[in-house]
Amino acid sequence: MDRLEHFARLSADDREALEAATAGPVLSVRPRRDIVREGERSRVANLILDGWAFRYKTLADGRRQIISFLLPGDICDPYVYILQEMDHSIGALTAVRYVELGRDKIEALTSQHPRLTQALRWDGLVAAAIQREWTLNLGQRDAIERLAHLLCELFFRLRAVRLTDQNRCEMPLTQSDVAEATGMTPVHVNRMIQELRARGLIRWKGREVEVLDMEALCDVAMFNPNYLHLNREGAHLDANG
Amino acid sequence: MDRLEHFARLSADDREALEAATAGPVLSVRPRRDIVREGERSRVANLILDGWAFRYKTLADGRRQIISFLLPGDICDPYVYILQEMDHSIGALTAVRYVELGRDKIEALTSQHPRLTQALRWDGLVAAAIQREWTLNLGQRDAIERLAHLLCELFFRLRAVRLTDQNRCEMPLTQSDVAEATGMTPVHVNRMIQELRARGLIRWKGREVEVLDMEALCDVAMFNPNYLHLNREGAHLDANG
DNA sequence: CGTTTCCTTGACTTAACTCAAGAGGAGTGG
DNA sequence: CCACTCCTCTTGAGTTAAGTCAAGGAAACG
């Protein structure tokens, strides 16, 4: 849960409450299994401890779109219990370990800990901002820009939770996964990866990516990290929220 | 503010508090002017009273994507004040009348009125769901499906706030606006509209649209309104939230 | 060590874009 | 009231980015 510290410095008390709330049983899913399915009723938020998950939606004829990626430290939907049923599914990309936070635990946290309340709100705002950026990505960027942008986003998010090592990071996505996230065909994703390789911007071998020229990659993507709001933004808020 | 009633039946007390909070000065913007700009600090939520607004983002080279539409009754970002700066802009499509809700007002509402708190959360969840649906739309649907889907969504949302008349509704969007929302060129939007006309699904003349065959239009769009969560979903929640 | 999944490449097709020009309306000023 | 302008819509002809189909190769997996 270091992730929330990106928003504000939490007190020892805050951290303790957080530890307590997330101390429930740890659940595990195998890779490529669903965690929640569209149409089901979901009553709990999920906090990802490790592994990658993703939200997705499917059309009647089988076309599938990955809507967003959930990385360690991400909290999905603290308030889903309000809705009658899920309008999308969440699947595990890798093996995922997570804890469920019921309504009671969320409320225990938020009623006693204003900074945690704000931190949760921050998390929700960032998730919304990411979704907006994906809308821009799919609507306006061309294939190579979309691919570069996805890589930039994932790298920045992973770095924020200390899951990068220099310029390298784990990359469990297959090219088909990238295709489903960027609205391209797998064949075209492959060609675009070749292109980024040819330009000397990345290495991508097995399940690992190395960014060889971050600046150039960001340029290609027209990547502006402002939407990730990673700069300890809550610093200006006092302890009352 | 009938919109929140789509979530739960509010008490007389709730309604009164809502009236009070939204009783501040009414602001107006002319069509095609910005309400909030990317990069600025925004400290207030906006409640749209009438008119249409839209969120948008621009790329360095001028490409622009409309991210979502804001219709009467929509509340944008109750908690933006948490963020250092806006990562996108909000513009008025038509003349827009709106009221600003500062942090104090939002907190006054939520601290005393659990159902309003839940209703605001519901509103946020629906906004997120719409953004996810747009991601699916841009990523997987082809041009005619995207257009049909946008029309279905707008029609359903307008109907929910009683801004439709039978099968007709106001449609202040130009074809260029539709192009920016659906990631197509204006020329192609025009051709797709012709196609929907030719199939006898819509009439679109001036600033008004009539849906001639709703079922067929939904079919083309593969439109499933579940993501709008319009079925008085809060009915199952007790007065404590 | 065989089998399945994932990646790669080539040849061809197509949905959507570009450029360009004209038509229809709505508003403005003479 | 008409002429003019600006904006939006419409249509045609040619181009291009991305998709499709297909097959071979590499890597991971049990």
pLDDT tens digit string along B186-236? 999 999 999 999 999 999 999 999 999 999 999 999 999 999 999 876 666
pLDDT exceeds cutoff 50 at B238: yes
Overall average pLDDT of the A34-59 stretch:
97
Q: 3-class DSSP state for residue B54?
A: strand
Q: Is the CB of B135 less than 8 angstroms away from the CB of A67? A: yes
pLDDT exceeds cutoff 60 at A240: no
Give me the residues of A, 64-103, that contact B with CB < 8 A: 64-65, 67-68, 77, 79-80, 82-85, 87-88
Mean predicted lDDT score pLDDT of chain A:
94
What is the Cα–Cα distance from A82 to B238, expressed in whole angstroms? 11
pLDDT exceeds cutoff 50 at B96: yes
pLDDT tens digit string along A148-197? 999 999 999 999 999 999 999 999 999 999 999 999 999 999 999 999 99
Q: Tell me the chain A residues in contact with residue B136 when contact means C-beta distances shorter than 8 Å.
A: 57, 59, 65, 67
pLDDT confidence of A9, banded at 50, 70, 90?
Answer: confident
Q: Is the CB of A95 under 7 A from strand D?
A: no
Distance B190 CA to D12 C1' (A): 14
H or E, element range at A146 = helix A143-160
Chain B nearest CA to A94, separation (Å): 22
Contacts of A51 (CB under 8 A, 6+ apart): A72, A92, A93, A94, A95, A96, A97, A98
Closest nucleotide to B191 by C1' from CA = D10
Give me the residues of B, 130-149, that contact A with CB < 8 A: 131-136, 138-141
Q: Is the CB of B84 less than 8 angstroms away from the CB of A182? A: no
What is the Cα–Cα distance from B203 to B198, expressed in whole angstroms? 10
Q: Tell me the chain A residues in contact with residue B141 when contact means C-beta distances shorter than 8 Å.
A: 59
Say which range, A2-11, A207-216, B73-82, has the weakest mean pLDDT.
A2-11
Q: Tell me the chain A residues in contact with residue B150 when contact means C-beta distances shorter than 8 Å.
A: none
Residues above pLDDT 70, as percent of chain B = 95
Q: 3-class DSSP state for residue A28?
A: strand
Overall average pLDDT of the B136-163 stretch:
98
| B37 in A contact zone (CB under 8 Å) | no
Res B9: pLDDT? 85
Q: Tell me the chain B residues in contact with residue A240 when contact means C-beta distances shorter than 8 Å.
A: none
pLDDT confidence of A241, banded at 50, 70, 90?
Answer: very low
Res B181: pLDDT? 98
Res A125: pLDDT? 97
pLDDT exceeds cutoff 60 at B240: no
pLDDT confidence of A81, banded at 50, 70, 90?
Answer: very high
Specify the higher pLDDT residue, A234 or A44: A44
Place of tokens 């509340």: B75
Protein contacts on strand D: list nucleotides below 7 Å from a Cβ: 7-13, 17-22, 27-28
pLDDT exceeds cutoff 60 at B61: yes
Instruction: Report residue B220 as tokens.
Output: 């083309």
DSSP output for A49-68: EES-EEEEEE-TTS-EEEEE
Closest CA to B173 of B134, B204, B142: B204
Q: Which residue is nearest to nucleotide C26 (CA to C1')?
A: B206
Res A213: pLDDT? 98
Instruction: Report residue B23 as tokens.
Output: 């009783």
pLDDT confidence of B8, banded at 50, 70, 90?
Answer: confident
* Amino acid making up residue A208: E
Res A105: pLDDT? 93
Q: Is the CB of B140 less than 8 angstroms away from the CB of A183? A: yes
Mean predicted lDDT score pLDDT of chain B:
94
Give me the residues of B, 1-20, that contact A with CB < 8 A: 7
pLDDT exceeds cutoff 50 at A239: no
* Amino acid making up residue B75: I
What is the Cα–Cα distance from B115 to B123, expressed in whole angstroms? 12
Res B241: pLDDT? 43
Contact B123, B4 (CB under 8 A): yes
